[in-house]
Structure 1
Amino acid sequence: MTPQLNEHCPLCGKKNNCCYGKDKSLGICWCNQETFPSEIFELVPEKDIRVKCICKECLDRFKDGGSNFQRITE
């Protein structure tokens, strides 16, 4: 069985551009330079926690909107 690649954000469904989900040999991912507020992980569906990476766009929207942030996918 081939493991499913972590390519889509669990909050919006768009590509997350996480190099760790694609190929760890690509080097350091953009997310290593970011700070993720712990509250954003409360929005990730339980089945996707530690499975799918949040995209930069959702991270930025959350940081800008905080409590007004809404998940786009269900």
Structure 2
Amino acid sequence: MTCPFCLADNGCALDDNKVCWCFQLVVPDDMLALIPSRQKDLVCVCRQCIDFYRADKRGFLEAFEFD
């Protein structure tokens, strides 16, 4: 599965019917709101994008052209 932001493989374990690493993290609601509606509940954000967003929200928004 690919991240909706950077389009890299997000390492989702659900594809292998395992518990995914993402169940251990809370993705900020305002970050989830950036995911296009047609992709909601169908994609997983990667750990790197979550970390980037938390560390530098403005930089993240600029990097992925949300500003």
Normalising by structure 1, we get a TM-score of 0.74
Deviation at 1:12, TM superposition (A): 0.9
1:11 maps to a residue whose letter is F
Q: Which residue of 2 aligns with 1:35?
A: 26
2:16 maps to a residue whose letter is D
Q: Which residue of 2 aligns with 1:23?
A: 16
Q: Which runs of 4+ in 1 moved over 4 A?
A: none
SS of structure 2 residue aligned to 1:69: helix
> Which 5+ residue runs of structure 1 have no aligned equivalent?
1-6
Deviation at 1:14, TM superposition (A): 0.4
Q: Which residue of 1 aligns with 2:41?
A: 50
Identity of aligned residues (%): 29
Alpha-carbon contact 1:10-1:53 (below 8 Å) kept: yes
**Cα RMSD, aligned residues only:** 1.5
Q: How many residues align?
A: 63
Matched, 1:10 2:4: yes
Normalising by structure 2, we get a TM-score of 0.81
